[in-house]
Amino acid sequence: MLTGPGATIAKARNLRRAMSLPEALLWRELRHRSCGFKFRRQHPAGPFILDFACLESRLAIEIDGEAHDRGSNPARDKARDEWLMTQGYRTLRIPAREVLSNMEAVVALILTHCRPLHQPSAGPPPRTGEE
């Protein structure tokens, strides 16, 4: 399981109480329309805190506001994404303005990324042209 040190866990707890508007709105939607997936908010991951995570799908979801484009933030985001990749997690970055303007599409995008392309329990995938 992806987790972090005590200081990161404490900071994540504080951030859950002070979520940004796009994060709070998205959290409300993910809780009610998760299609069977469990999401965590402000989840500690090593030295980082993920806005949202679906551990079963190994997906980190980051809601990026304007600040993510300034100063050293792009380099920090890249380092975080690379670290998560070494842990076996994919990162889905969504602009905050998209959450505010098109929630339906954002939720659909997230759920699409959570679903595996093929479920081994369903047998081998169909051959091309046999769908």
The full length of the chain comes to: 131
Nearest to 65 by CA among 56, 77, 57, 53: 77
pTM reported for the whole predicted model: 0.75
CB atoms within 10 A of CB 99: 23
Q: With a cut of 70, say whether residue 61 has pLDDT above it.
A: yes
For 54, the token pair is: 């679906």
Average pLDDT estimate for 4-33? 80
pLDDT digits (tens, 9 = 90+) for 72-129: 678 888 888 999 999 999 999 999 999 999 999 999 999 999 876 545 555 665 666 6
Domains of the chain, residue spans: 6-114
CATH number for the domain formed by residue range(s) 6-114 = 3.40.960.10
pLDDT digits (tens, 9 = 90+) for 101-117: 999 999 999 999 987 65
| Residue 127 confidence (pLDDT) | 65
3-state secondary structure the chain: CCCCCHHHHHHHHHHHHCCCHHHHHHHHHHHHCCCCCCCEEEEEECCEEEEEEECCCCEEEEEECHHHHCCCHHHHHHHHHHHHHHCCCEEEEEEHHHHHHCHHHHHHHHHHHHCCCCCHHHCCCCCCCCC
For 104, the token pair is: 């339906």
Nearest to 68 by CA among 27, 39, 108, 97: 97
